[in-house]
Structure 1
Amino acid sequence: MKLPPRPCGFSNIASQMLNRPLLIHPHKVEVLVCALHTKLGIVKMETIDGVTLEAQGMLHQAELAQQQALARDASYDREGRKPYEMSGDIAVIRIEGTLVHKAGWLDALSGFCGYTTLAQRFAAAFADPDVTGIWVEIDSPGGSVAGLFALVEEIALGTQSMGGKPVYAWVNEMACSAAYAIACVCDKVFGPRDAIVGSIGSVIVHTSIAAALEEGGVSVKVIRAGERKYRGNSMEELDEATETKLQTAVDETRDRFANLVSMGRNLPVADVLATEADWFSGDDAVRLGLMDEVLAERTAWARLEDECDRIKRSERERRHLS
């Protein structure tokens, strides 16, 4: 018996993205806000620029993904198959698009990647006796905080530095914010000269449509029981207490992120914070300790293969001696 697809669409994504701390590249914030507000009926995009065009494309992809998911009952029989690609004895896990806690049918086709799906893939790879090492290919601007730190903790515990399997991150263009949080706990981080990494900070985007409602002749009165109930909604201007609370949330998230990078990359927390959430590429990223080396992909892959071969030789020798 097949269970119906679990509802997990734009409303779920919006709950993770709006008025919540985010670990995401600045440009992608604009795209997401445009797309989510349009989909939820809050605003309608009418301008033609890079941000709105990209958001329209995201909406089109999401609608297509929803139709395809419903058509195939949003289920896939993985019995007898691995949830990742294999190249020899190396598992390949790809991380692409905006990262969220539960993507549901909004998978890579529509520009989202779910932490829960990634957690399942990493857990399976760490437990798989056929897997000697893990290659993590990343191209993501980051995403939501919910679910992220639980995922990176599991990855960190499974890496070679913790007695597990070697995990190499390859930055295939971008690993920023939440995506860099994943990269930084891998044993090695490599990328080409134009790879973009960092953005070690947090942001909350609050949108007020109060002025637009007033201009349109719409009067909104919020009747609340409890002074803090429904504060931070889009129909009222942001009050000082709510703004202070949101600022505290992003500050705490940034500190937590910086401590994670400090641990994963063996850097002083002060040095991580000194990056001021900027992004870096190539030699600058290496100089700051955010990447290990600028390498061609085949060279980085060969490094992991060599690491896996050493592990296999060591295991054979151990079995022989015992």
Structure 2
Amino acid sequence: MSEQQGSNWERQVLEKLVITALKEQGKARNWSIFFKFVGFAWLFLIVALIAGWRHGSSSESTKLGPHTALVELRGVIAARDGASADNVMEGLRAAFKDKNTKGVVLRINSPGGSPVQAGQINDEIRRLRKLNPQVPLYVVIDDICASGGYYVAAAADRIYVDKASLVGSIGVLMDGFGFTGTMEKLGVERRLLTAGENKGFLDPFSPTNPQQVELARKMLGDIHQQFIKVVRDGRGKRLKETPDMFSGLVWSGEKSIEMGLADALGSADSVARDVIKAEEIVDFTPREDWSSRLARTIGAEAGSKLGSYFEMKLK
């Protein structure tokens, strides 16, 4: 081997050693950064939870003076949403439990939603009113209180509206789509196997079955009658029934008062001040505090970083 060849060989070996050492350092640095990030994330999480606990313990509602308790029901009434029965009932229980609550205002702005969720809230309002007869519960309607929203409202002692609020829609619907025509044009064949003649009930990819349609109409009719009974029980002699009252139509706030679906014009502030006579309003609506949001955000970010890191390494 010549002197020049030996020099080249040594240089190549040295370059490989340097490159290998740099790669190892890079890996060690990446892991160090990752573990530092996880450590800081946990630190922030612990601090946030401690701060949230201290905040909650120092602001107990029982330390407040006489007040009107407010609970919000906003949006579509559905499980696992902000307007779920669990959330609304939690707020109502806390409001009635507070010894300084002089009256409860349930402020509704909802187009409706699940009849099951709405029914659970209605039942809970009736139960709480029975257990706490000295604490009235009033519903105040903002923009809209329709369908399931009104199902809830019917349980209140009184209902207050704005003159332009939309109230009513006392009806039940089931909607969907039919794709059989589209499938024929595309040359797609539906292959549906069932055990039970109605297991594919109203399948959108199969032709309409008249017997199933009739069964669905009967089921909707049964739920509609439940809705009507709730309204009649809740409103009693105040209702001035008309042929179209339970047809699914909606009315303005002013018209709803004439029909007995609501009692008077009012807002949360005016009801607290003039009806309950406790002008201070305390919001009992369950809301996710900043520490929980921060913890969830940090957890999601950590998961994203971890996933990205290993995705990068596995490429």
Extract unaligned runs of 5+ from structure 2: 1-44, 281-315
Aligned-residue sequence identity (percent) comes to: 19
Say yes or no: does 1:90 pair with 2:68.
yes
Structure-2 residue corresponding to 1:246: 216
User: Which residues of 2 match residues 115-134 of structure 1 at below 5 A?
Assistant: 115-134=85-104
Structure-1 residue corresponding to 2:128: 158
Please tell me whether the aligned partners of residues 172 and 220 of structure 2 are also in contact (alpha carbons under 8 angstroms): yes
User: Which residues of 2 match residues 303-322 of structure 1 at below 5 A?
Assistant: 303-306=274-277
User: Aligned partner of 1:205: which letter?
Assistant: D
| Alpha-carbon separation, structure 1, partners of 2:129 and 2:209 | 45
User: Which residues of 2 match residues 293-312 of structure 1 at below 5 A?
Assistant: 293-295=264-266, 298-306=269-277
The alpha-carbon deviation at position 279 of structure 1 amounts to 0.8
Say yes or no: does 1:173 pair with 2:151.
no
Higher RCO (CA < 8 A, seq sep 6+): 2
Structure-1 residue corresponding to 2:260: 289
Task: Indicate which of 164, 182, 188 corresponds to 2:152.
Answer: 182
Q: 1:132 to 1:298 in 2, by over 3 A?
A: closer
Extract unaligned runs of 5+ from structure 1: 1-71, 108-112, 310-322
The alpha-carbon deviation at position 153 of structure 1 amounts to 0.9
User: Which residues of 2 match residues 31-110 of structure 1 at below 5 A?
Assistant: 80=57, 89-103=67-81, 107=82
Question: Between Structure 1 and Structure 2, how many residues are aligned?
Answer: 226
Please tell me whether the aligned partners of residues 238 and 260 of structure 2 are also in contact (alpha carbons under 8 angstroms): no
Q: 1:116 to 1:279 in 2, by over 3 A?
A: same
Structure-1 residue corresponding to 2:16: none
Task: Indicate which of 252, 258, 267 corresponds to 2:228.
Answer: 258
Say yes or no: does 1:231 pair with 2:201.
yes
The alpha-carbon deviation at position 165 of structure 1 amounts to 1.7
Deviates more, 1:202-211 or 1:173-182: 202-211
TM-score scaled by structure 2? 0.64
Please tell me whether the aligned partners of residues 67 and 278 of structure 2 are also in contact (alpha carbons under 8 angstroms): no
Please tell me whether the aligned partners of residues 161 and 187 of structure 1 are also in contact (alpha carbons under 8 angstroms): no
User: Aligned partner of 1:206: which letter?
Assistant: G
TM-score scaled by structure 1? 0.62
Structure-2 residue corresponding to 1:5: none
Task: Indicate which of 185, 196, 218 corresponds to 2:188.
Answer: 218
Say yes or no: does 1:194 pair with 2:164.
yes
User: Aligned partner of 1:154: which letter?
Assistant: E
Spell out, residue by residue over 1:266-294, the C-alpha distance to the aligned partner (whole angstroms, 9 max, x if none). Answer: 14889276412211113211111011012
User: Aligned partner of 1:128: which letter?
Assistant: D
The alpha-carbon deviation at position 164 of structure 1 amounts to 4.7
Spell out, residue by residue over 1:113-158, the C-alpha distance to the aligned partner (whole angstroms, 9 max, x if none). Answer: 2112111111222222232211111111000112321220110222
Spell out, residue by residue over 1:19-57, the C-alpha distance to the aligned partner (whole angstroms, 9 max, x if none). Answer: xxxxxxxxxxxxxxxxxxxxxxxxxxxxxxxxxxxxxxx
Q: 1:279 to 1:162 in 2, by over 3 A?
A: farther
User: Aligned partner of 1:89: which letter?
Assistant: H
Q: 1:141 to 1:249 in 2, by over 3 A?
A: same
Deviates more, 1:206-215 or 1:181-190: 206-215
Say yes or no: does 1:206 pair with 2:176.
yes
Q: 1:146 to 1:296 in 2, by over 3 A?
A: closer
Q: 1:305 to 1:213 in 2, by over 3 A?
A: same
The alpha-carbon deviation at position 160 of structure 1 amounts to 7.1
Spell out, residue by residue over 1:45-79, the C-alpha distance to the aligned partner (whole angstroms, 9 max, x if none). Answer: xxxxxxxxxxxxxxxxxxxxxxxxxxx9xx99675
Q: 1:220 to 1:135 in 2, by over 3 A?
A: same
| Alpha-carbon separation, structure 2, partners of 1:118 and 1:143 | 14
Q: 1:303 to 1:184 in 2, by over 3 A?
A: farther
Structure-2 residue corresponding to 1:146: 116
The alpha-carbon deviation at position 162 of structure 1 amounts to 6.9
- Which has a greater percent of helix? 2
Greater Cα radius of gyration, structure 1 or 2? 2
Please tell me whether the aligned partners of residues 166 and 307 of structure 1 are also in contact (alpha carbons under 8 angstroms): no
